[in-house]
């Protein structure tokens, strides 16, 4: 049951992240890159959440390392695509409203984007922490 719940929660979080990214794209007139990189969330969140319920084991640390490298690759893709798209689009959506709602919208997407990466990092260090204690 924990696994099914983790998968459902992961898919719901991915949906919210994709929705926020769609809003930032602004029908092609905003920051579009998050929409494309948010596709990663549909696999990443269920995976890291399911893995967070497992018993920490040093033998599976390789899987956690691969996940963390995927997170770093995703970050690199986000930055490179944003630079290719033009940073002015990111600046444009921040300027459009210059309000609390714009900051919350963008901040929420960034929190969701970084959230799965933090969980992946915690999944990696849990076996090490268990060993120390």
pLDDT greater than 80 at residue 50 = yes
Cα–Cα–Cα angle for 120, 80, 42, nearest 5°? Answer: 40
Q: How many residues does the chain have?
A: 133
Q: How many Å apart are CA 40 and CA 52, to the nearest integer?
A: 18
Among residues 84, 90, 97, 115, the alpha carbon closest in space to that of 21 is found at: 90
pLDDT greater than 90 at residue 47 = yes
SS3 letters across 27-39: HHCCCCHHHHHHH
Pick the more confident residue, 130 or 128: 128
* Sequence spans of domains, the chain: 2-132
What's residue 126's pLDDT?
Answer: 80
For residue 95, name the pLDDT band (cuts at 50, 70, 90).
low
For 97-107, how does the pLDDT look when each residue is reduced to its tens digit (9 = 90+)? 566 677 788 88
Contact predicate 70/39, CB 8 Å: no
């Amino acid at each position: 049951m924990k696994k099914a719940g983790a998968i459902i929660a992961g898919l719901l979080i991915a949906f919210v992240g994709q929705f926020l990214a769609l809003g930032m794209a602004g029908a092609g007139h905003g920051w579009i890159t998050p929409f494309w990189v948010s596709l990663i969330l549909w696999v990443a969140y269920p995976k890291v959440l399911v893995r967070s319920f497992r018993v920490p084991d040093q033998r599976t640390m390789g899987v956690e390392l691969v996940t963390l490298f995927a997170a770093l690759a995703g970050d690199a893709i986000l930055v490179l695509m944003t630079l290719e798209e033009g940073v002015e689009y990111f600046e444009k959506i921040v300027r459009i409203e210059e309000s609390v709602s714009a900051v919350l919208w963008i901040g929420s997407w960034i929190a969701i984007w970084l959230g799965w990466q933090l969980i992946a990092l915690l999944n990696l260090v849990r076996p090490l922490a268990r060993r120390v204690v």
